């Protein structure tokens, strides 16, 4: 029996994306991988082992792993090869940034379900099993996210979004649809290590913005929220993902800063076309990007982004605090962007 074809992804050129009519592609169970795991890596020889161990130890085993080495100058590629697992494919490219690496992995994925994880994060053993079951049983779901924890350098963990006892799961179910922008008023709902998407959904939400050095994931989630609507995004009740803040070289190889966020900038340029919650997330995206710029030493770029978010109402206090930090933080060196 011939293998079913996986059609190329043609992401919509406009960051404010239109619905897709791409059909869902189904794969035979047990005879081939049913889920692709994409891991971009740049100089993560100390942490890639933890990430790969958490993937290869999953209770769900019908997956492939696509690791894209973004021109690492350390032993990251050697560490990946040393695993010797036939499910792991290593793709090497010249350094082009995390978005290009993620996109290349997504394009190389052979399965309809695509899971993302960064090279310095980890999953609980039943992460893939949980996400696969939701996608199989909820045809309306285009993207599924687990709740995730943030672990700092001291080992202390905190939940990024307080949903476990929330009314979102009031019917007793373990998963539920949610509006991304409503949740974003309370925290960052999605993370690059907490989601599994239908591959066909990338035709609606697009790929990660290439060339953006700070906040590329935030811009991606804005487009995901717009494309998913009220019933395309599902959350699971349990916490199955850990975002590590202690990993080496988290910022990647950044010689200069490209601060434009295509989707956020376009939403704010067309404010009359969007509701208040969408606008507030676009403002929050700029504020969070400003923090990343400040911590990378781009003080003036950080201040400019905060100024562009000055119309926010829900996040005014956060914007003011970030502005104060940008003005007085010694890490905010006077670099240009």
Q: Is 161 exposed, middle or buried (0-12, 13-18, 19+ CB in 10 A)?
A: buried
Quick one: pLDDT at residue 21? Answer: 35
Unique residue bearing structure tokens 């942490």: 47
Quick one: pLDDT at residue 98? Answer: 95
Q: For 240, what's the count of Cα atoms within 13 Å in the CB-facing half-sphere?
A: 25
How confident is the model over 186-243, as pLDDT tens digits?
888 899 999 999 999 999 999 999 988 899 999 999 999 999 999 999 999 888 888 8
More confident residue, 279 or 255: 279
Which of 35-39, 151-155, 170-174, 251-255 holds the top average pLDDT?
Answer: 35-39
More confident residue, 21 or 295: 295
CA 190/CA 218 separation, integer angstroms: 9
Smallest CA-to-CA distance from 114 within 200, 42, 175, 188 is with: 200
Percentage, residues of the chain above pLDDT 90 = 60
pLDDT tier at 247 (50, 70, 90 boundaries)? low
Domain annotation for the chain: domains and CATH numbers: 35-244 (3.90.550.10), 262-328 (no CATH)
């Amino acid at each position: 029996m011939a293998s079913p074809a996986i059609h190329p992804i043609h992401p919509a050129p406009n960051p404010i994306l239109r619905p897709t009519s791409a059909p869902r592609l189904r794969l035979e169970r047990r005879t081939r991988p049913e889920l692709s795991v994409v891991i971009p890596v740049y100089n993560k020889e100390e942490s890639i082992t933890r990430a790969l161990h958490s993937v290869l130890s999953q209770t769900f085993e019908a997956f492939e792993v696509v690791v894209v080495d973004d021109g690492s100058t350390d032993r990251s590629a050697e560490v990946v090869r040393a695993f010797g697992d036939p499910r792991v494919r290593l793709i090497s490219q010249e350094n082009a940034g995390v978005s290009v690496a993620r996109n290349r992995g997504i394009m190389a994925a052979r399965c309809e379900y695509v899971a993302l994880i960064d090279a310095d994060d980890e999953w609980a053993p039943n992460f893939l099993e949980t996400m696969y079951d939701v996608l199989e049983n909820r045809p309306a779901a285009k993207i599924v996210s687990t709740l995730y924890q943030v672990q700092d350098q001291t080992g202390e963990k905190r939940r990024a979004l307080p949903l476990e006892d929330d009314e979102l799961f009031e019917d007793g179910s373990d998963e539920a649809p949610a509006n991304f922008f409503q949740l974003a008023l309370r925290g960052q709902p999605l993370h690059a290590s907490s989601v599994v998407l239908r591959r066909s959904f990338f035709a609606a939400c697009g790929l990660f913005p290439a060339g953006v050095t700070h906040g590329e994931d935030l811009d991606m989630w804005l487009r995901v929220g717009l494309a998913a609507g009220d019933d395309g995004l599902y959350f699971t009740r349990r916490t199955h993902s850990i975002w590590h803040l202690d990993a080496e070289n988290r910022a990647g190889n950044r010689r200069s800063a490209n601060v434009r966020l295509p989707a956020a900038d376009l939403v704010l340029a067309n404010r009359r076309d969007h509701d208040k919650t969408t606008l507030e997330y676009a403002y929050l995206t700029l504020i969070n990007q400003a923090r990343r710029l400040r911590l990378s030493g781009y003080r003036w770029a950080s201040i400019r982004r905060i100024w562009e978010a000055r119309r926010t109402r829900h996040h005014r206090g956060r914007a003011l605090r970030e502005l104060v930090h940008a003005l007085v933080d010694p890490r905010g060196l006077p670099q240009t962007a």
